[in-house]
Amino acid sequence: MTTRRFVPDSLRDQIVRILIQWGMAAPIADTTATVMVDADLSGIDSHGVSMLLMYETLLNEGRLNANAVPAIAEEGPAFGVVDGDHGLGHATAVYAVELAIAKAAYAGIGAVAVRNSRHFGAAGYYARLASERGCIALITTSTRIPVTFAAGGTSPVLGTNPIAFAAPRADGEPLVVDISTSVVAMNKVKAYALKGDVLPVGWVYDRTGRPVTDSAAAYAMLTSQEATLSPLGGAALETGAHKGFGLSLMVQILSTALSNAATPLDTRDRDNIGHFFLVIDTAMVNSSGSVAGIVEDTLTAMQRDEQEVRIPGDPEREARSERGRRGIPLPDTLIRQVADIAARSGAPFVLTESS
Amino acid sequence: MTTRRFVPDSLRDQIVRILIQWGMAAPIADTTATVMVDADLSGIDSHGVSMLLMYETLLNEGRLNANAVPAIAEEGPAFGVVDGDHGLGHATAVYAVELAIAKAAYAGIGAVAVRNSRHFGAAGYYARLASERGCIALITTSTRIPVTFAAGGTSPVLGTNPIAFAAPRADGEPLVVDISTSVVAMNKVKAYALKGDVLPVGWVYDRTGRPVTDSAAAYAMLTSQEATLSPLGGAALETGAHKGFGLSLMVQILSTALSNAATPLDTRDRDNIGHFFLVIDTAMVNSSGSVAGIVEDTLTAMQRDEQEVRIPGDPEREARSERGRRGIPLPDTLIRQVADIAARSGAPFVLTESS
């Protein structure tokens, strides 16, 4: 598989042109493309431009409102509920986290729940956005398809339900934790399938509870609900299955119960994805101390005698620096896919190779 | 090891009498004993009356203020910072969660960070308290001794850093998730050691990264920092080590950075434990829907075809019912310990066996 590198701004421009052809308003297309390209820059290849084909399918099936306008449905001094109007999640999520930041600036903390959203890319983006302004952020989202089993069960009852957390550091870019509450994300199984690698035992099980290690079979079975993913902590109580299950439930409820988004086994309204954004204004809540200083002390002490310890968010920060300079690597199959999507939308192909 | 059952109210009375002899104000002793006995009733034997000896040691070493009065150090419309005045954490935590509930009733959400607290028992108690009043709660605490390694490392850099979450259900008692973000809690290793059982590989490692499966040796090595616990997700990236590490960091920062409590490797002020309480008033944030109804639907759907799936919090609820009727089982060694502590404090021994 050949991979070439492309100028990030040309990828951003390409996505904007396609989204506008789909009917999206220019400022919303702009925000959406910025968030998507940030995933590609950060090395989170599964959540950037590679999602475009799935978005096109949703659009063609009438399950995505291209010219959605997110709006506040309920509001109080420190909270809001946002209706995403069935649009792509990226611009809705930026709107929601900005609202939470504004609430926090007034009340110390702000929480915003979202309904009628769609896939919003990497949750860590929005957490980082809040922490770049000195806030602590905790963000969760529901996901569309049940793939993860409950501790003690064998059928898929929850999504991969990610959670992101970010906090400012005194001497560097924010700490950013961004994890699924399943043992791995779906895209990890897909990546193994693309390479033909054997899966580790403990990731995927069939409906009778037997491990599936054939990665291609596992991915196909997961999408048809014939197989299920372990929660974080694996399948046994001994390794913490109930802990991953509990965390996934927490994410599910924060993301859907406050905003009336779809519950995981509700098949009528599955596209109605919900998010939750909590933002804490650190200057206001800890006015006598330095949150960023305490975070810095906590993290630097951990790395003092440990060369191999990586602080969450550091690999993505390094990828942004490297890819920002050298360009974003895209495999030829993906480039062809983007060219086809552009052609179908009526947008020109404007991807430019890095020199 | 003989075990007899005791009348819960007599255990509560016993604890109150000891705490008052230690110099604690009667209402604070009352709250503390109620929280401690609830742990014993719930089957969380590690966090109830069995902690009394450790509290006595802290007191004798001048590291615990028996007549502490928690007070608000900072406050805003939706947040507060509480100083625990170096007292036991239970009454301080009840004070803090009540403050967060009051803030949430006004602003939709409320967050309270706590410093200068001590051990507060089981985090789930305070989350359940909020959910019994219709709120969603997310609670974290730091712990005193670093025992857990970071993904990629071999030295103890974080505590067991628990997280608790609760949400109301339409047809039953609240969902309560209460987990440590290490693969197991310290008391689990201690329980294996008491029985002489061999530890599963993956729980405890020595400082060179070799697994320790001798439970007695492992517990001793953990307390002297010669061994370390895995984060949730185990020691390998493949099983999610970085996820448990990330969650533990999140708990650490929420619990300490907002309130200036001790950082994990700060040895000067290690007793200064911090907590974090987030409460969401579900009637206010989701005024057009029913949070408890959505939670109920989510949970009942998961159990429909799965007999073996237990909802988090259900085992503790069942224990409360059974032990409330039949009495709290206490091993003779613990009864003798309580009698000795009572004698040393000058309180009478009032434990009464269940008939």
* pLDDT of chain B, 355 residues: tens digit per residue: 688 999 999 999 999 999 999 999 999 999 999 999 999 999 999 999 999 999 999 999 999 999 999 999 999 999 999 999 999 999 999 999 999 999 999 999 999 999 999 999 999 999 999 999 999 999 999 999 999 999 999 999 999 999 999 999 999 899 999 999 999 999 899 989 988 999 999 999 999 999 999 999 999 999 999 999 999 999 999 999 999 999 999 999 999 999 999 998 887 889 999 999 999 999 999 988 899 999 999 999 999 989 899 999 999 999 999 999 999 999 999 999 999 999 999 999 999 999 8
Helix residue ranges, H only, B140-214: 186-195
List, for residues B144-156, the tens digit of each pLDDT value. Answer: 999 999 999 999 9
pLDDT of residue A288: 86
pLDDT-above-90 percentage for chain B: 92
Which 167-196 residues of chain A touch chain B by CB within 8 A?
Answer: 167, 175, 177-181, 183-184
Across A291-340, the runs of DSSP E, i.e. the strands, are 328-331
What CA–CA distance (Å, rounded) separates B295 from B306? Answer: 17
> B49 near B40, Cβ under 8 Å?
yes
Determine phi and psi for A95, rounding to 5 degrees. -60, -45
Position A268 confidence tier, pLDDT thresholds 50, 70, 90: confident
pLDDT of residue B268: 81
Interchain contact B259–A (C-beta under 8 A): yes
Cβ-defined contact of B294 to A155 (cutoff 8 Å)? no
Q: Compare all CA atoms of chain A with the CA of B267 and give the residue at the minimum distance.
A: A301
What CA–CA distance (Å, rounded) separates B78 from B112? Answer: 9
What CA–CA distance (Å, rounded) separates B67 from B329? Answer: 30
List, for residues B260-291, the tens digit of each pLDDT value. Answer: 999 988 878 899 999 999 999 999 999 888 99
What CA–CA distance (Å, rounded) separates B273 from B260? Answer: 9
Determine phi and psi for B74, rounding to 5 degrees. -140, 155
Position A234 confidence tier, pLDDT thresholds 50, 70, 90: very high
Interchain contact A114–B (C-beta under 8 A): no
Q: How far is CA A186 from CA A167, A189, A191, A253, in A?
A: 27, 5, 9, 21
What's the average model confidence in pLDDT over A318-335? 97
Cβ-defined contact of A152 to B306 (cutoff 8 Å)? yes
What CA–CA distance (Å, rounded) separates A3 from B153? Answer: 34
Provide the 3-class DSSP secondary structure of residue B267.
Answer: coil
User: Chain B closest CA to A46's CA: distance in Å?
Assistant: 18
Q: Compare all CA atoms of chain A with the CA of B260 and give the residue at the minimum distance.
A: A289
Chain A residues lying within 8 Å of B184, measured CB to CB: 240
Interchain contact B282–A (C-beta under 8 A): yes
What CA–CA distance (Å, rounded) separates B143 from B255? Answer: 9
Cβ-defined contact of B154 to A247 (cutoff 8 Å)? no
Cβ-defined contact of B136 to A257 (cutoff 8 Å)? yes
0.90 surpassed by complex ipTM: yes
What's the average model confidence in pLDDT over A272-279? 98
- Tell me, letter by letter, the H, E, C secondary structure of B215-265: HHHHHHHHHCCCEEECECCCCCHHHCHHHHHHHHHHHHHHHHCCCCCCCCC
User: Chain B closest CA to A27's CA: distance in Å?
Assistant: 29
pLDDT of residue A127: 98
pLDDT at residue A318 greater than cutoff 70: yes
Of B73, B109, B312, the CB nearest to A246: B312
Rg (CA), chain B: 20
Neighbours of B27 (CB within 10 A): 9
Using alpha carbons, select from B50, B85, B142 the residue that is nearest to residue B331: B50
pLDDT of residue B47: 93
Chain B residues lying within 8 Å of A294, measured CB to CB: 253, 256-257, 260, 263
Which DSSP letter does residue B67 get? T
User: Chain B closest CA to A107's CA: distance in Å?
Assistant: 5
pTM over 0.90: yes
Interchain contact A150–B (C-beta under 8 A): yes
> B144 near B271, Cβ under 8 Å?
yes
What's the average model confidence in pLDDT over A188-214? 94
User: Chain B closest CA to A9's CA: distance in Å?
Assistant: 31
Largest pairwise CA distance in chain B:
57
What CA–CA distance (Å, rounded) separates A55 from A235? Answer: 33
pLDDT of residue B289: 86
